[in-house]
Structures are given as structure tokens and as C-alpha cells.
Amino acid sequence: MNTTAYNDQMHAACSEAAAQMTAMAAIEPDAEISTVATPVGSWLRDQRAGVIACWEADTATTCQHVTGAPQVLFGAAWKPGHLVCNSCIIQLKTLNPLEEKTCDQCGNVTEDVDTHLTIIGPILYAYGQCAACRANEIPLHA
């Protein structure tokens, strides 16, 4: 694939990922699209860098539908290194009910873990975060 075509497809995939995130927030009444700062050394920045490194090194495990062409992909902190297409998103479901109550950032098991999404290019990345970890985030928009 030539560079121009690849870049066009990547731009389209990134735009589609953003549109899907906005649509998910509209469906979920308690959802809030917020952007937090990811300074050097922050947990979320490290997670994002890990996803990018895994993808670039071609070490990510993927569903059978993921090809070399840019497309919207889904990943989750509780399934590190695993990326799937929209049709295979069920593969990211947690199998253990305890995982639903585990903060991906600090590892504490608590009832107040909420699922959040962040966009990494064309990848929608989910992570569970407890109230204590959320309280330490730095919002980009005050």
C-alpha cells in the first residue's frame, strides 16, 4: 500500500474511533468524555505507550480480522497486548467477576471501579479505575 493511501486510511480510522467514542458516550447516560493530562511517568501515559509499542513491534495478539490496513481497534488494560475489531469485541470481556472490581491502575479490589475509554490513534482502549486513582488525575479542561 502506498504511503498516501495508508495515511488516508489511518486518518479515516482515527476519525471513526473518535466518532464511536462519542456515540458510546451518548448511549451511556453516566458516561462523560473527558480528557486528562498524561504527563511523563503517569500510569495512563505508560499504558498508552505500551499499546503503541506492542502494535509497532507486531507483538500484539489480534483477532483474525485485523490486517495490516488501518482500522478501528479495541484494547483493554485487563487484556494487555490483545487488540480486536468491532466484531470481536466480546473477546475483551472479563471472565472473572473479581476483575470487574479491580482497579487497573493500583490493583485494589473495590466496588467503585468505573470503566473509562481513551483513544490511541485508531484504538479505543478501556481501563478500570477506582475513585482514589481518578481523584489524582489532572484534567486538561478545568
The domain limits of the chain are: 3-135
CA–CA distances in Å: residue 36 to residues 78, 108, 111, 125: 20, 21, 23, 14
Percent of the chain with pLDDT over 70: 89
Q: What is the CA radius of gyration of the chain?
A: 15
Per-residue model confidence (pLDDT) at position 118: 86
Mean pLDDT of the chain: 86
Which residue would you say has higher pLDDT here, 65 or 135? Answer: 65
Per-residue model confidence (pLDDT) at position 53: 92
Reply yes or no on whether the pLDDT at 32 is more than 60. no
Per-residue model confidence (pLDDT) at position 142: 47
Reply yes or no on whether the pLDDT at 106 is more than 90. yes
Percent of the chain with pLDDT over 90: 47
Per-residue model confidence (pLDDT) at position 97: 87
Question: Per residue in 50-96, pLDDT tens?
Answer: 998 998 898 999 999 998 889 999 999 999 999 999 999 999 998 88
**What does the DSSP assignment read for the chain?**
--HHHHHHHHHHHHHHHHHHHHHHHHHSTT-----B---TT-HHHHHHHHHHHHHHTT--EE-TT--SS---EEEETTEEEEEE-GGGGGGGS-SSHHHHTB-TTT--B-TT-EEEEEEETTEEEEEEE-HHHHHT--BS--
Give the integer Cα–Cα distance in Å for 121 and 36. Answer: 16
Give the integer Cα–Cα distance in Å for 17 and 13. Answer: 6
Reply yes or no on whether the pLDDT at 125 is more than 80. yes
Q: Letter for the amino acid at 106?
A: C
Structure confidence at residue 135 as a pLDDT band (50, 70, 90) = confident
